[in-house]
Amino acid sequence: MHRVAPDEVRARIGEPDALTRMKKFGHIDAHVRRFIAHSPFLTMATADAAGNADCTPRGDYPGFAKVLDERTLAIPDRPGNKLADSFTNLAENDGIGLLFLIPGMIETVRVNGRAWVTDEPDVLARMQTEASTPMLAIVVEVAEVYFHCGRALLRSRLWDADSQALAAEAPTMADVVADLVGGDVETITKHVRAGYRELF
């Protein structure tokens, strides 16, 4: 397959306009703070020292990612699959890229920076839900914040109610597990559902 050289890519895409460049900030301003306070979901991209990249979903109540000040964010570590891919990557390479989404909103917010892990009680206290407090949080030192336009979400019809019919056609977690380890889909579905009850 033909590989397009990096300078050729730029030539074909063209340069961003002035407004687009203006939407890039070096800090979390009042609008972005308000956006993050209403976002229940983000994707977190990290890579190891060799550049092997990974992207994981994180979600909780809106504002679960806490803005500590205009250059610092903290994201709680909730129980997940214990693969700890993000932690392993951050130990080798502290670069991080976040994409915040708000249901119903086509614009997204991108935050890039450097990250490390903390167990600071004052930070964890702000992330308590019901009966649980996270053991760890990821602190992001913000280098770049960008208010991203809504074209991708418009084209993808991400928030259209009709789009949810797609889920019925996709493989379920139980389908995947049944193919991997055997067993009947119905039993595995029950296990998966039981697991999903333990959210925190």
Partner 1 sequence: MAAQQAVVARIAPVAEDVVALDLDAADTPLLPWTPGAHVDLTLPNWLTRQYSLCGDPGDATRYRVAVRLDRLSRGGSEYIHRFLRAGRPLAVSAPRNHFALTPAPGHLFIAGGIGITPFLSMMDAIDDARLIYTGRHLGAMPFAADLRERHGDRVRIVETERDGRPDLRQVAAELAPGTLVHCCGPAAMTDHVQKIFPGVRLERFRPQPRTHRPNAAFEVLCARSGRTLAVPPNRSLLDALADEGVAVASGCREGVCGSCELRVLDGEPEHRDDIGAPAGRMYACVSRALGPRLVLDL
189 in contact with partner 1 (CB under 8 A): no
Residues forming a β-bridge with 44: 56, 98
Give whichever of 11 and 199 is closer to partner 1, judged by the CB atom: 199
Strands (E), the chain: 24-25, 41-47, 53-59, 66-69, 72-76, 95-101, 108-118, 137-148
Stretch that binds partner 1, among 30-38, 87-95, 146-154, 176-184 (CB under 8 A): 30-38
Which residue of 125, 165, 166, 168 would you call a contact of partner 1, by CB under 8 A? 125
Which residue of 20, 52, 128, 163 would you call a contact of partner 1, by CB under 8 A? 128
**One character per residue 36-65, x = contact with partner 1 (rule: CB under 8 A):** -xx-x--------------------xxxx-
Q: How many residues bind partner 1 (CB under 8 A)?
A: 19
Query: Torsion over CA of 54, 58, 64 and 70, rounded to 10 degrees?
Result: 20
Query: Torsion over CA of 34, 67, 95 and 43, rounded to 10 degrees?
Result: -50
184 in contact with partner 1 (CB under 8 A): no
Q: Which two tokens stand for residue 144?
A: 């770049």
143 in contact with partner 1 (CB under 8 A): no
Q: Which two tokens stand for residue 26?
A: 């070096």
Give whichever of 76 and 113 is closer to partner 1, judged by the CB atom: 76
Q: How far is the CB of 127 from partner 1 (least distance, A)?
A: 7
Stretch that binds partner 1, among 7-15, 29-37, 163-171, 177-185 (CB under 8 A): 29-37
Which residue of 43, 72, 118, 129 would you call a contact of partner 1, by CB under 8 A? 129
Given a contact cutoff of 8 angstroms between Cβ atoms, the answer to whether 147 and 32 are in contact is yes
DSSP H helical segments within 96-172, as ranges?
121-125, 151-156, 166-169
Q: How far is the CB of 63 from partner 1 (least distance, A)?
A: 5
Say how far apart CA 132 and CA 77 lie, in whole Å: 11
**Positions in the binding site for partner 1 (CB under 8 A):** 33-34, 37-38, 40, 61-64, 122, 125-131, 197-198
